[in-house]
A and B are shown apart, each in its own frame.
Chain A
Amino acid sequence: MRSRNLFAPDGPVRIFFRNPLAVVGLTIIVIFALMVVIHPLLMNTLWAGEELIYDPVFGNDAPIVELVVVEEVTDPTREIELIEARIRDITSNLGDVKEFRIQPAPPSGTHWFGTDVFGRDVFSMVLYGAWPSFVVGLSAAVVAAIVAVIMSVASATFGGRTDRTLSRVSDVLLLIPAPLAMIILAGGSTGDFLTPLNFGMTYGLLAGASTAAIVLRSHALSTAQRPFIDAARVSGARGWYLARKHLIPHMIPLAAVTMVSAVVGAVVAHGFASWLAYSDELSNWGAIMFTAIGFASLQGTLAWNVLIAGAAAISLFCAGFYLVSLGLKDVAFRGSEERRQRPGWVRRRENRNVGSLV
């Protein structure tokens, strides 16, 4: 099953890259990873000395725009209401064309994604938000995979009471949906406990012990019934040795798939917690959207450039990981294309109802 050479013609890497969707996903993730690197670079080179404009937390820049003072606004990008204009400049009269500083500002050459309600550069904020998202997502994924693999392998190796207890734990934890639990924890907790790292790890613990463990358990159980496990038992392998040497290698591809869904869940939950202003982070994608929504009622209009930038960043990030999971699934249920060519009974024997669970 496992070939030693990762890059062999039918090895996992080749199978992964044969799926075009997975390649697209990987490209998206690489772009986001580049964003993590690019932001400090830009701050130190191109934007050096302009921190007051481009700083993602404290920056401020209000572009100057010429607006016509009118009685009733039909086009907010070109016109301004008389009262509003008088507040800013007492000398304004109807029909004047005056220069006003505006924030939030629409996209322009200096601010690719425009500025938000505090006049911060949204492009810089989006770049800056990539790092916390990676921390949340990856820590959740690693913890979830470790917990789920240990639980499922223990179920399959020891069986009996261990298995019953562990699957009961998963059943109970499934009733406390990890995203909801994390949002409530974030809302209730005080102080700076919920850093992105802690948030991700707690999420990983909850999701790993429930959903991921359930999915991996049935895979582990069906792997444990295969002949080579019996052979290992006959030759004296027991307990953790058996699990480590013979079961866990077979769990890795599927564990990778569940890791990816943990990334998606954790990033969305973290985004929503920040959206509700439950996060202590100074700036991340959820917080970007919070500023768009939170001040919509004060501004009278919703800053679409801010909302779309944050939402698109989170959605694309999740989509990238989701697409990668499709490729990983091909690796996990190796060569689904070749498998499709074989008659049904052969595949049933290979498959044992597992691939369908994920």
Chain B
Amino acid sequence: METQVNQKVDTSVPSAKEEVEKSLSPFQLAMRRFLRNKLAIVGLIVLSFFVLVAIFADLIAPHSPTAHNLYNIDAKASSEHWLGTDSSGRDNFSRLVHGARISLTIGFFAMFFTVALGVLLGSLAGYYGKWVDGLIMRATDLMMILPFLLLILTIVAILESVTITLFITIIALTAWPNLTRIIRATFLSLREKEYVLGARSIGASDFRIIFKHFLPNAVGPIIVNATLMMATMIILESALSFIGFGIPQPTPTWGNMITEANSLRILENHWETWVPPGIAILMTVLAINFIGDGLRDAFDPKSNQ
């Protein structure tokens, strides 16, 4: 049902418009399939909403996200503070809005650098094979055995203090193995193809073969995994911030807003403080997962059972 290109029955001379339709690239075809996936579109709309909130946080937030007011702590929701205030008297709604900015930015950059590192190492392993492959694969095996979360916490403990840049670097340095394996597998399947031999025989450099011939073929798995990885990264950031080893206060992130609920008093009586950021994480991650699944089905129609 997806192959509308081959379904043309009329044999009249194709008009210019159909000519354009016929020359759609696989990427464009995938995008068409993607746009027909309802859940993915819902995901796209929800994510766009959060991205817009993040961009216009300054305009939306009625208060400063870091302004203390010790005379007005743990306030209930009111027309002044829509979601009340936290234990330092900061406006919860404003922190939620600004938290979107920080959480999404960190999620995006952590994903971006992890993907960059994963693609680089995966390309090297899959393209060069032999000892390069052996070395990189042993490293991925090792990284997958080390307990991921504990490793990050250990590195944070050794480094004593964490900035946002350092935080993203630590995550990228520990999270790359999954993507490396996927890229390597894709590359290995491409290595023996005739067109690669053709490219090599006309003297194309390794760099050119990797970028012009291999990577475009791996673009589907890369986009799908990058999308799903962003969801993982947002959860990871929130979890680390929640236990106090992510982004330090007073910078608001959804994760460190929920830290307030560590106090049983707040957990029991002030749901306005910790439930909204949790719902925000949940909705963002759900939206990204829908988009990721939609992309997977779009790039690989066979996977759709």
> Are these two chains actual partners, yes or no?
no
Residue ranges of A at the interface with B (Cβ–Cβ < 8 Å): none
